[in-house]
Amino acid sequence: MSQFWSDIVHTLTPYIPGEQPKTNNLIKLNTNENPYPPSPKALTAIQSATDEGLRLYPDPNSDVLKQSIANYYNLDVDQVFVGNGSDEVLAHIFQGLLKHDEPLLFPDISYSFYPVYCGLYNIDYKTVPLNEQFEIDIKEYNQNNGAIIFPNPNAPTGIGLGLNSIEKLLQNNPKSVVVVDEAYIDFGGNSTVSLINTYPNLVVVQTISKSRALAGLRVGFAMAQPDLIQGLIRIKDSFNSYPLDKLATLGAAAAIDDVKYFKDICQKVIRTREHLNRQLKQLGFEVLPSQANFVFAKHASLDAAHLAQALRKQNIIVRHFSAPRIEAYLRISIGTDTEIAQLIQSLTSIISNT
């Protein structure tokens, strides 16, 4: 540890991202990337913008992208905030909206970046246990809190909450900001965006990394009533006035506008997920009901860490979490039909030889 670090650096436990192998001969089912390429229109927009104009600063407001998002979700532009990936958007939300005298609440099994941000910004928090079915129980959030955040669908379980449940949560917590992190919403859930104009305490966060197949572009966004968005803009402009480059702004806008392509690849992922569910159950797995582009599954008798290592030996990478309550589960991203067929073939071989 460096003697030159600030005091806070010694206290941090950083987020550990999913493995990004440098070899090309792997079936990579560990980081929930889309198995299909981005919209051709997005790629064309990026290529067209790659010219001498890159010597100039980009639009600090990313107005073209904000307008595309507003159009798609039937919002006003002043209800949209954009950032360098949803993780940066979440960071600004934690700093600007979630630090209060009462603790921030989020599920005990959830996105592991949440406690990291709490450490970075010195936010008091309390985790709320999922029930025995690994579901978020909104009744458990009827307690003193400064704010609430949760993914919908949840990660890594993939289980979603319905709009009625989220609306009840909002009604029960009118004085708290409620952040719904919808990174995976397009694979089977119903977005909470429709509630924004009714509830001034609601913030919805999304990303183009998953359903729009642009994880490499790093674009995320938040949607809320204008006063909450203005708070985030104040944080952003005190940190980095130009979070999105020109290529990211135009490519993301084109991806948002290409609705048909977006819906087509989402449906492909959903069909493959349901096929994978059936195949895993036939192999003796219990599979949680997922609305995401991954499944969370445990085998009836075989250790999850053993299965993950055995798959790695066959050049297939899945994610295993060693945390309490979920150490028996594997999180498996949805790949192409060919990749999933290879996964099932490998699992069949591993199980039969164990």
Arithmetic mean of pLDDT, 35-42: 98
Q: Which residue has the higher pLDDT, 126 or 26?
A: 126
- H-run or E-run covering 42: helix 40-48
pLDDT confidence of 17, banded at 50, 70, 90? Answer: confident
Would you state the pLDDT for residue 3?
82
pLDDT above 90 for 315: yes
Greatest CA span in the chain, whole angstroms?
60
pLDDT confidence of 156, banded at 50, 70, 90? Answer: very high
Catalogue all structural domains in the chain, each as residue range(s) with its CATH number: 7-37+260-352 (3.90.1150.10), 42-258 (3.40.640.10)
| Contacts by 99-104, CB closer than 8 A, 24 or more apart | 99/123, 99/146, 100/146, 100/147, 101/146, 102/144, 102/145, 102/146, 103/144, 103/145, 103/146, 104/145, 104/146, 104/147, 104/148, 104/149
Q: What is the pLDDT of residues 231-268, one digit of tens each?
A: 999 999 999 999 999 999 999 999 999 999 999 999 99
Would you state the pLDDT for residue 14?
83
Asked if 329 contacts 264 with a C-beta cutoff of 8 angstroms, the reply is: no
Arithmetic mean of pLDDT, 273-302: 98
Q: Name the β-bridge partners of 125.
A: 104
> Rounded mean pLDDT of the chain?
96
Strand order in the sheet with 294-299: 285-287, 294-299, 330-333, 319-320
Q: How far is CA 222 from CA 121, 145, 182, 214, 326, in A?
A: 19, 22, 10, 17, 29
pLDDT confidence of 349, banded at 50, 70, 90? Answer: very high
pLDDT above 90 for 12: no
Q: What is the pLDDT of residues 184-212, one digit of tens each?
A: 999 999 999 999 999 999 999 999 999 99
pLDDT above 90 for 326: yes
Would you state the pLDDT for residue 21?
76
Asked if 202 contacts 97 with a C-beta cutoff of 8 angstroms, the reply is: no
Distance between CA atoms of 350 and 311, rounded to whole angstroms? 8
